[in-house]
């Protein structure tokens, strides 16, 4: 079956611009996670959705970052007034339920802020 997909695969934007990153989870997966990965480090947790609601958004670095999952499926990560420090690979993962289930990762979106 189809895995987790993320679009776009690459995004180059200018400092100060707004960007949206999309994640399509595996059908039927209720849990969805967003991570940010910088070179040489493990994925950094951003936000976790269970259904439509954010169960834990404590990893969002500041109020420029926001994520939604209005129908409990597709999720969008929104970054306002982008900064060069936001450049990273943004990973999305979904799982059947909560923490005891393995996560299936998408290919990531590489964001470059110039």
Partner 1 sequence: ILNVEQSPQSLHVQEGDSTNFTCSFPSSNFYALHWYRWETAKSPEALFVMTLNGDEKKKGRISATLNTKEGYSYLYIKGSQPEDSATYLCAFMKTSYDKVIFGPGTSLSVIP
Work out how close the CB of 100 gets to partner 1 at its nearest, in angstroms, rounded to a whole number: 5
Long-range contacts of 70-74 (CB under 8 A, 24+ apart): 72/30, 73/24, 73/25, 73/27, 74/22, 74/23, 74/24, 74/25
Work out how close the CB of 75 gets to partner 1 at its nearest, in angstroms, rounded to a whole number: 16
Task: Mark residues 2-41: x for contact with partner 1 by CB under 8 A, - for none.
Answer: -xx----------------------------x-x----xx
Work out how close the CB of 35 gets to partner 1 at its nearest, in angstroms, rounded to a whole number: 8
Residue 1 exposed, middle or buried by CB count within 10 Å (0-12, 13-18, 19+):
exposed
CA distance 36 to 85: 12
Task: Mark residues 53-92: x for contact with partner 1 by CB under 8 A, - for none.
Answer: --xx-xx-------------------------------x-
Q: For partner 1, give the closer residue by CB, 14 or 99.
A: 99
């Amino acid at each position: 079956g189809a895995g987790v997909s993320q679009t776009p695969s690459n995004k180059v934007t200018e400092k100060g611009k707004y960007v949206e990153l999309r994640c399509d989870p595996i059908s039927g997966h209720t849990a969805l996670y967003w991570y940010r990965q910088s070179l040489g480090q493990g994925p950094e947790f951003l936000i976790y959705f269970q259904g439509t609601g954010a169960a834990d958004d404590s990893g969002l670095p500041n109020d420029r970052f926001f994520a939604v999952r209005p129908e409990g499926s597709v999720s969008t990560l929104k970054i306002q007034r982008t900064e060069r420090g936001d450049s990273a690979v943004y990973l999305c993962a979904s799982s059947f339920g909560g923490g005891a289930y393995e996560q299936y990762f998408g290919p990531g979106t590489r964001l470059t802020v110039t």
